[in-house]
Amino acid sequence: MTIFDKVIRFINKGHGFENIMKNVKLIAAEKGRCWAEFKVTEEHLNYMNGLHGGYSATIVDKYTSAALHTIIDDDFMDVTVNLNMSYLKGAKLGDTVLIDSRSLKVGQNLAFLEAYLKNKQTNEYLKGAKLGDTVLIDSRSLKVGQNLAFLEAYLKNKQTNELLVYGSQLLFLVPPKERKS
């Protein structure tokens, strides 16, 4: 089996929430690396009509794992422990986005992975629980300034109070008078 076929098999194992990535197409794969692309459609947009950061994060999560699966055995599973995103520039409706994902270091229990998203037309970087469980979301603004907000959120299993996800975010606040229509 080729590395490309191995990655396709890994991607096709996805189900449920991962179905939102049905339009992402694998372009190439080699040991420790893979490339994919997708066209930004209406379903990928945020309320400001740009590529939604959550969609970008989901793609980074899946395709860094795909790069990892070019190296590890098929029977291994991976779970994201930490995912950091930096959004440098947005993408808009109709843009084609390229994904370049890599395995930087793979140890016995941890793998360090990275991915870059680029606008295909401009070549600019975008960077940009178990089924049935009830999840509590505790989110807070740590500090909000004139242009920046520091935020964090905890997702806990309501039944066990077990921490499921911790996330932090730094937001740049765009005043209404500076927004482009």
Helix crossing, 53-68 with 3-12: angle to 10°? 130
For residue 84, how far is the Cα from the chain centroid? Answer: 9
Task: Give me the pLDDT at residue 2, please.
Answer: 96
Considering the domain architecture, whether residues 85 and 9 belong to the same structural domain is answered as: yes
Is there a domain that residue 128 lies in? Answer: no
- Final residue before a domain boundary, out of 73, 89, 119: 119
Q: Based on the structure, what is the number of domains in the chain?
A: 2
Contact (CB, 8 A) for 8 and 67: no
Considering the domain architecture, whether residues 71 and 113 belong to the same structural domain is answered as: yes
Dist CA 14 CA 20 (whole Å):
10
Considering the domain architecture, whether residues 91 and 158 belong to the same structural domain is answered as: no
Considering the domain architecture, whether residues 24 and 74 belong to the same structural domain is answered as: yes
Per residue in 16-49, pLDDT (tens digit) is 888 888 999 999 999 988 989 889 999 999 888 8
Task: Give me the pLDDT at residue 43, please.
Answer: 93
Considering the domain architecture, whether residues 54 and 111 belong to the same structural domain is answered as: yes
Task: Give residue 147's pLDDT band: very low, low, confident or very high (50, 70, 90).
Answer: low
Task: Give residue 93's pLDDT band: very low, low, confident or very high (50, 70, 90).
Answer: very high
Considering the domain architecture, whether residues 64 and 111 belong to the same structural domain is answered as: yes
Q: What is the pTM of this model?
A: 0.72
Q: Structural domain of residue 153, as residue ranges?
A: 135-178
Specify which residues 45 forms β-bridges with: 51
Q: Mean pLDDT over residues 174-180, rounded?
A: 59
